[in-house]
Amino acid sequence: MPESAYHIALVSNTSWSIYNFRLGLIRALIQAGHHVYAIAPRDEYSDKLTAIGATYVPIKIDNYSSSPFSDLKTLYILFKLYRFYRFNQVIHYTIKVNIYGSIAAKLAGLKSIAVVTGLGRTFQFKGITQRIVHLLYKIANRCSDEVWFLNGEDQQRFISEGLIKSKRTFILPSEGVNTSRYRGTPLTEVDNKIKRLLFAGRLLKDKGILEFVHAAKVISKTHKQVKFEIVGFVNPKNPMSVTLDEIEGWQRSGWINYLGSHEDIRPFINRADCLIFPSYYQEGISRILLEAASMSRPIITTDQVGCREVVDHNQSGFLIPPRSVIALIEKIKHILTLSRSELAEMGRKGRSRVKTLYDERLIIDIYFEKLFNLESKVSLASERKRQKKKH
């Protein structure tokens, strides 16, 4: 534990992501006497960050712009902030922030860590766009003191494509989940006459929402006691988002029941028999899978990086090939044949896996060890340079 308080900045492309994914970390740092700054665009979660004791600093980031002028503006804004606040440590999250924040921190003479929370669609680019993205990553990664990954596959991809040296990388095993908060009623105690299958998350096509709806369309014709439910929000700015008109059409057809967007997902997971998440998005480690598994719910998801790490195939759930509606329908039909005690046993194994590997307390311990060890090394290096100059 450091002897004095540190000023630590968490920087992301939304206040929502800082609050929802790093709430436990912020509280732990504040409780230990450190000053936490949350730097992100303003949204409905910005005031919540202030309420828990963080200093909220608003910035503007156009997450969907490919304009170099917009990106240079982001770089300049972050540079000015870093020169003004002089943080002991800056932690960057999400692609644009990782790239331009890391460069800004280096220019401002600050130490920083970039956390790769998933590759998203960045590595799907081809041609000149791919070369530009790779160049930006190379520059940014050299500016960061360390680059953290949430899974080994992303780490190895960066290394194999020459974007970073292995010795400057680290695997943070997910961003963790509060297993005390995410604790569900055992399925053996849930009196569901209707079986509920839940899709939850951002309603993006590459999160598998269309595959879920297609499976619902097929299965609902013969399984009248099965309800396919969706919880999540539509983002009109995201080109991969479905539209409210599409959702309303599915609902009118009777294939799904859209329950809207909710801050607290727990009641919906708790009443579900299974979480369905057929994502082919380049996840880091899927948060909704951690939450569902922590709440003792069996899962059907894809054999895809960021998803397969959470599920023990044939034990706590099932893995299917990405984009395969046929495989999804097959596994859903299999789930429907299982007794409540069999489903409960799968859920128990899932929760055990999350508690062992992904509990938030384990992740916070890693942050504390890495952050303050890094800062200690930085201080020693600075002192050695100062002594050399004196002699």
According to DSSP, the β-strands at 55-58 and 146-149 are: unpaired
Q: Do 234 and 272 have their domain in common?
A: yes
d(CA 123, CA 126) in angstroms, rounded, equals 8
Instruction: Identify whether residues 170 and 195 lie together within a single domain.
Output: no
User: Is the per-residue pLDDT at 234 higher than 50?
Assistant: yes
Query: What pLDDT is attached to residue 391?
Result: 38
How far apart CA 25 and CA 45 sit, in angstroms, is 16
pLDDT average, residue stretch 328-336: 97
- The pLDDT tens digits for 138-151 are 999 999 999 999 99
Give the C-alpha separation, 294 to 317, whole Å.
13
Instruction: Specify whether 156 is located in the same domain as 280.
Output: no
Q: Which of 56-60, 138-142, 223-227, 379-383 has the lowest mean pLDDT?
A: 379-383
pLDDT score for 103: 98
Of how many residues is the chain composed?
391
Q: Which two tokens stand for residue 130?
A: 């791919």
DSSP string of 83-114, one letter each residue:
HHH--SEEEEESHHIIIIIHHHHHHTT--EEE
Q: What is the SS3 assignment for 194?
A: coil
- Mean of pLDDT values over 321-329: 98
Say if residue 366 is in the same domain as residue 335.
Answer: no
| Residue 341 within a domain | yes
Residue 379 pLDDT greater than 70, yes or no: no
Helix (H) or strand (E) holding 258: strand 257-258
- Backbone phi, then psi, for 245, in 5-degree steps? -65, -40
Residue 386 included in any domain: yes
Domain that holds residue 273: 187-357
Average pLDDT, the chain: 91
- Residue 83 located in a structural domain: yes
Neighbours of 379 (CB within 10 A): 12
- 326/376 same-domain check: no
What is the spatial distance between Cα 311 and Cα 288, in angstroms, rounded to a whole number? Answer: 12
Task: Please state, for a pLDDT cut of 70, what percent of the chain lies above it.
Answer: 92
User: Tens of pLDDT along 239-280?
Assistant: 899 999 999 999 999 999 999 999 999 999 999 999 999 999
Report yes or no: 241 and 204 within 8 Å, Cβ to Cβ: yes
- What per-residue confidence (pLDDT) applies to 31? 95
- How many Å apart are CA 306 and CA 92, to the nearest integer? 19
**353 and 367 within one domain:** no
- Are 230 and 282 found together in one domain? yes
Asked if residue 302 and residue 161 are part of one domain, the reply reads: no
pLDDT of residue 192: 67
Largest CA distance in the chain: 83
Q: Is residue 270 assigned to a domain?
A: yes
pLDDT at 385: 45
Question: Does residue 2 lie in a domain region?
Answer: no
User: How many independent structural domains does the chain possess?
Assistant: 2
204 and 106 in a common domain: no
pLDDT of residue 3: 52
Q: Is the pLDDT of residue 227 over 80?
A: yes
181 domain residue, yes or no: no
Answer whether residue 1 is part of any domain.
no
pLDDT tens-place string over residues 175-225: 999 999 999 998 877 666 789 999 999 999 999 999 999 999 999 999 989
Kindly state whether residues 102 and 244 are assigned to the same domain.
Answer: no
Residue 381 has pLDDT above 90, yes or no: no
Residue 280: which CATH number? 3.40.50.2000
Do 96 and 28 belong to one domain?
Answer: yes
CA distance 96 to 11: 11
220 in the same domain as 169: no
CB 91 within 8 A of CB 115: yes
